[in-house]
Structure 1
Amino acid sequence: MKDSFKIPQFLLRFALGITFLTPVSDRLGLLGPAGTGNVEWGNWDNFISYTTTLMPFLDRPMVNVMGGIATVCELVIGVLLIIGFKTKYAAIAGSLLTLTFIVFMTLFVGIQKPINFGVFTATAASFLLSRIPNYEWSLDNFFKGK
């Protein structure tokens, strides 16, 4: 049977990878200062202040740790998806991470925020990517051929 997922899975991997890396770039200030263009946070402090609203039951130092963990996870997942290494596991991790975001955003700021940020789409797309049987143009595929 012909693999009809070659280009769509590559585009989905790349789009999801960028989706995970862009917020990381934003909170590290790489996209510019807050309030310019489509910059949401512009720096780490603004990101942690927002994250505090999602975790009001934690004190700020612990929110800082949780924000750091989320940022590292997003960075790793984004890179793994783009290069196509351990793609299935990165996609599952991405789906679980964004599902966690949905829960906290919905509980503490309302359902509209995860909808506006496309978190439902990222969760579903990550889960879908994890179910694709073969990842063309990926390190997974390269190592499978060895």
Structure 2
Amino acid sequence: MLLKANIMTDKNIKFPQLFLRLSIAVTMLSAVADRFGFWGADAAWGNWANFEAYTKKLTFFLPESLSVTSAYAATFFEILFPLMLLFGWKTRVGAYGAGFLLLVFALSMTMALGPKAPLDYSVWVGSAAAFLLAVQPTYFFSIDHSTNK
């Protein structure tokens, strides 16, 4: 009976899992697009300078040089992890990476801006979703799945 339940779960999880993977990836890439000005000047940051200033606010506990470095590091990882999720390559690593990155953002936002900001932007939800994705036994519709057959 348990085996049949697992088969049903695997069958029913394919599209929701893909939707979760793509949602996390696209959401994170959208934030990167914003800091490079692709969403226009009226977006959250609209340009790199505004994003850097925001990062300095969130990383108030770091020396300024490390704060600027963290803006570059965050951007690098906000491109790398979503691309891994998008293509389903090293999906577990990408999901854990996204989960930890979003967790760091949520904690930094909470310390610097209070609890409302990460709640309004669903950063906690994104982190939890990434961690949920990371513990999946297999990743359907992915490079990982096609190479593990």
Could you tell me the TM-score, scaled by structure 2's length? 0.90
Which deviations, in whole Å up to 9, do the C-alpha atoms of 1:45-87 show, x marking residues without a partner? 0001111111113343322210000010010111111110111
Give, as a single letter, the amino acid of the residue that structure 1 aligns with 2:84: L
Distance 2:135 2:66 in 1: 34
Equivalences for residues 18-57 of structure 1 within 5 A: 18-33=26-41, 35=42, 39-57=43-61
- Which residue is equivalent to 1:95? 99
- Aligned residue among 130, 142, 145 for 2:146: 142
Where does structure 1 lack aligned partners over 5 or more consecutive residues? none
- Which residue is equivalent to 1:5? 13
Where has structure 1 moved over 2 Å in runs of 4 or more?
Answer: 57-62
- Return the offset for 1:133: 1.2
Larger Cα Rg: Structure 1 or Structure 2? 2
> Size of the alignment, in residue pairs?
141
Could you tell me the TM-score, scaled by structure 1's length? 0.92
Q: More helix per residue: 1 or 2?
A: 2
What secondary structure is seen at the aligned counterpart in 2 of 1:5?
helix
